[in-house]
Chains A and B, each alone.
Chain A
Amino acid sequence: MDIFAGLAHGFSVALMPSNLLWCLVGCFLGTIVGILPGLGPAATIAMLLPMTYSMSPASGIIMLTGIYYGAKYGGSTTSILLNMPGESSSVVTCIDGYQMARKGRAGAALGIAAIASFIAGSFGIIALSLMAPPIAAFALSFSSPEYFALMALGLALVVLLAGDSLVKGLIALLVGLWLTSIGTDLFTSQSRFTFGQTSLLSGLDFMVVAIGVFAITEVLSSISDQEETQVLPVPKGLRNLLPNWEELKACRFAFANGSIVGFIIGVLPGAGASIASFISYGIERAFSRHPEKFGTGLPEGVAAPEGANNADTGGALIPLLTLGIPGGGTTAILLSALVLWGVKPGPLMMTESPDVFWGLVASLYIGNVMLLILNLPMVPLFAQILRIPVYILHPIIFGVSVIGAYSVAGRVFDVLMLAGFGALGFAMARLKFPVAPLVLGFVLGDAMERALRQSLMMSQGDLSILISRPISAGMLIFAVGVLFLPLLPRFRRLKEAAG
């Protein structure tokens, strides 16, 4: 079936009233799940799976996938309003999103997140429908050396996240790298830094760390501030609820960056939306004309990661739908759902189950529009959360954080860890250590170490495998270039002084 005939058939499936309804249900549930920290799309889909047994496979996959990408829309809401990431791929949105809210631009930040999600999400879907098979082949050409180079590039971006002191940034990064190495080593099954604790065998959960160092730290900081606690300014009037033209213009590069970076990284089974959002944010900053202003509430600091985590959806569905390969936890459960309904996900699915394949692809277009319509009018409503006085809001943030940390794995241990990371984040804030490099090190460290060791096992210990492959070599050179970026202004100053 040719692509356009396929899409036409897909729309005829997706536009059936019942499927439209399921799509809406999925998107709506996804948004809610995205807003609630801790409860992720994977767990939600697993819980709802039994309900879908009696549905047709097309309706089932349309609804469950709606939860998957809907969650990515919703994830930014609490990041922006409360400095509490709702989803692991919205962690980096806290950095500039929350600062925008503090400046009274909460509505604008939410609007930009929704628009970026829509633009990049649509880009991912178009790319998915037009060139899924060749893109899948590209994803397979990525091997461990390329993953290593990608993660190294991500880590190099840390120099841009470090803020005033590079030394403090690097120390925070090292702490993040250490934290991510806690747990069972994949290659030897030996435990590292577990101090005899069974609970540490699986390592620390990213959401627990992120909620701790962002949300809990924020609450602690505002409690300890001696001056009269400031309520965040509530945006008033329609003009302040939506992003203005200047802000949108500032984001035009971020929309494209988020779309492309998010999609490409999404295609790779070994990466994922969190890594995509961090790298997209880093690239946005690397190419910005005013990188020093990041972290103070720049709209492009919201647009890039929020775009990337939505473009990731289209990318991540490619190996799933064309090869039957899941790239992460959520796509893995979508795969097992397809098997349960009797669909055979794999290279032949596109031709053997066109209803499911094209119906799903078409529903993505529809779902994206639905989410935009669902989310934009919610912006004023959500922004009203900031009206709640601090003495009520902070206990709520505290409570939701605790529930979020507990619901990650149903363990009290994670709540204790949450408290620990809240304290760590608070100490770091007091001592003026940036927290972003820690989180970045945590996200990338594990994947990077794994890729390095896999590469060296493949080459029998020969390091040249990292630079003898073109894609990997190219990314490593780019990474080294990024490392020198912070020196540029200094170099310019020297030149001016000399000249």
Chain B
Amino acid sequence: MNRRILLTTALAMGAALLAPAAQAEWKPTRPIELVVHSGPGGGNDVMGRALVAAIDEAKLSPVRIQVSNKVGGGGATAASYLADKKGDPHVIGIFTSVWITNPLVQQEANVSIRELTPISLMVLEPALMVVRADSPYKTMTELMDAAKANPGKMKQSGGSPLARDALVRTVLQAKTGGRWAFISFPSGGERISALLGGHVDMMVIEPQEAGELIRSGKIRALAQVTESRLPDFKDIPTLKEAGFDVPNPPQPRGVIGPPGMAPDVLAYYVDLIQRANKSPGWQKFLRDGILEEKLLGPKETLEFLTQTETQMRGILTESGVKLVR
């Protein structure tokens, strides 16, 4: 743990001790800025806007919440923006797993997610391992055997080498001894096109993206990258059930604040997120997006993030990515 975090934690604890028992409740007095790191239409942007819509619909916030896109650097721009807002109670942001992995591999991404104030983990995004419908591989075992029999010949389309789909490949390769190519495409549309066009053999995809293509018989899911089966995909085994007991690299999304957020401010946001989580708008968003609800408090979120960081560190080293921290 670095010195800055120790200091922040100590200060926060000190502030907590000094605060009177019946603490004056903090309430926002001007519009809240909700920072997301993706452009309009990206994963975090969609989640941020859905959260704001759910909060508005249930009238949970006395002030307006404004989504602000701080695009760039795979979360680094948004994270450093939040880090600069230390002490500003009217700025929060939405984090995802690249906020954890990016600082590990990029010198410039110098804000660790643990320096900020985690407020609540909200969702875990599940994933599916899919192949084209006319692919000869009907089960996960067949696919992995083929990959082992033809080392380096098969291909998976995906995003950045830090993203969850790449990490799933790494853990599967380590488990099975098979080797296949991971081909990066910048957008989800291009990744799916490469699979549908038969230019790659497999893809790790979010269920919401895959749902309609599975239903119309264009692609087939072989396994789900989840701890237990999703209600929408009852017939598809998890990786573990399919015989591949590998660690599931999680794709978490949640809410985070600037460094050293005051306890009363933190308490306000934790309460807001808890109520937003129960709101009908948010529950519908989770259902439509086939997302796993995973609400954690600030302490548990920090623990989760720390654990995930350790796990990612291991997997990234395994996949040969150079770590800088």
Contact of A201 among B56, B73, B194 (CB under 8 A): B73
> Is there an interface contact between A186 and B187, defined as CB atoms closer than 8 Å?
no
Within 8 A of A (CB), among B108-151: 108-110
Chain A CB within 8 A of B74 CB: yes
> Is there an interface contact between B208 and A339, defined as CB atoms closer than 8 Å?
yes
- Give the total of B residues in contact with A, Cβ under 8 Å: 64
> Is there an interface contact between B160 and A186, defined as CB atoms closer than 8 Å?
yes
> Is there an interface contact between A329 and B108, defined as CB atoms closer than 8 Å?
no
Contact of A191 among B106, B161, B187, B218 (CB under 8 A): B106
| Pairs A–B under 8 Å by Cβ, sample size 11 | A50-B49, A186-B184, A189-B160, A199-B77, A319-B189, A324-B213, A327-B189, A410-B69, A457-B181, A458-B183, A460-B152
Q: Among the listed stretches A141-149, A216-224, A248-256, which one makes contact with chain B, having 4 or more residues with CB under 8 Å of it?
A: A141-149
Chain A CB within 8 A of B304 CB: no
Chain B CB within 8 A of A226 CB: no
Chain A proximity mask over B188-209: 1 for CB below 8 Å, otherwise 0: 1110111011111000000011
Residue of A nearest to B285 (CB): A340
In the complex, which residues of chain B have a beta carbon less than 8 angstroms from the beta carbon of A332?
A: 41-42, 187-189
- The listed residue with most B CB atoms (<10 A of its CB), out of A190, A328, A460, is A190
Chain B CB within 8 A of A325 CB: yes
A-B pairs with the 10 shortest C-beta distances? A346-B212, A201-B73, A202-B72, A46-B40, A333-B41, A140-B197, A332-B41, A347-B216, A143-B199, A269-B189
| Bound form: Cα–Cα A251–B80 in Å | 50
> Is there an interface contact between B41 and A347, defined as CB atoms closer than 8 Å?
no
The verdict on A189 contacting B56 (CB below 8 Å), with A42-B40, A347-B212 known, is no
Chain B CB within 8 A of A344 CB: yes
Chain A CB within 8 A of B39 CB: yes
> Is there an interface contact between A454 and B197, defined as CB atoms closer than 8 Å?
no
Chain B CB within 8 A of A450 CB: yes
> Is there an interface contact between A189 and B186, defined as CB atoms closer than 8 Å?
no
Chain B CB within 8 A of A326 CB: yes
| Bound form: Cα–Cα A346–B187 in Å | 17
Contact of A346 among B45, B71, B107, B216 (CB under 8 A): B216
> Is there an interface contact between B74 and A201, defined as CB atoms closer than 8 Å?
yes
Within 8 A of A (CB), among B19-56: 39-42, 45-46, 49-50, 52-53, 56
> Is there an interface contact between A458 and B181, defined as CB atoms closer than 8 Å?
yes
Chain B CB within 8 A of A467 CB: no
In the complex, which residues of chain A have a beta carbon less than 8 angstroms from the beta carbon of B108?
A: 191, 194, 196-198, 200-201
Minimal beta-carbon separation of A489 from chain B (angstroms): 40
Within 8 A of A (CB), among B63-121: 67-74, 76-77, 80, 102, 105-110
Interface residue ranges, B against A (CB under 8 Å): 39-42, 45-46, 49-50, 52-53, 56, 67-74, 76-77, 80, 102, 105-110, 152-153, 155, 160-162, 181, 183-190, 192-194, 196-200, 208-209, 211-213, 215-216, 218, 288-289, 321-322
Residue of A nearest to B105 (CB): A189
> Is there an interface contact between B184 and A140, defined as CB atoms closer than 8 Å?
no
Within 8 A of B (CB), among A109-168: 139-144
| Bound form: Cα–Cα A409–B45 in Å | 13
Chain B proximity mask over A22-57: 1 for CB below 8 Å, otherwise 0: 000000000000000000001101100110010000
> Is there an interface contact between A324 and B45, defined as CB atoms closer than 8 Å?
no
Interface residue ranges, A against B (CB under 8 Å): 42-43, 45-46, 49-50, 53, 139-144, 184, 186-191, 194, 196-202, 269-270, 319, 323-333, 335-336, 339-340, 342, 344-349, 409-411, 450, 454, 457-458, 460
In the complex, which residues of chain A have a beta carbon less than 8 angstroms from the beta carbon of B41?
A: 42, 46, 326, 329-330, 332-333, 335-336
The verdict on A189 contacting B71 (CB below 8 Å), with A333-B41, A347-B212 known, is no
Residue of A nearest to B66 (CB): A47
In the complex, which residues of chain B have a beta carbon less than 8 angstroms from the beta carbon of A348?
A: 212, 215-216
| Bound form: Cα–Cα A424–B117 in Å | 42
Contact of A142 among B70, B110, B197 (CB under 8 A): B197
Residue of A nearest to B73 (CB): A201
> Is there an interface contact between B109 and A198, defined as CB atoms closer than 8 Å?
yes
> Is there an interface contact between B56 and A325, defined as CB atoms closer than 8 Å?
no
Minimal beta-carbon separation of B309 from chain A (angstroms): 16
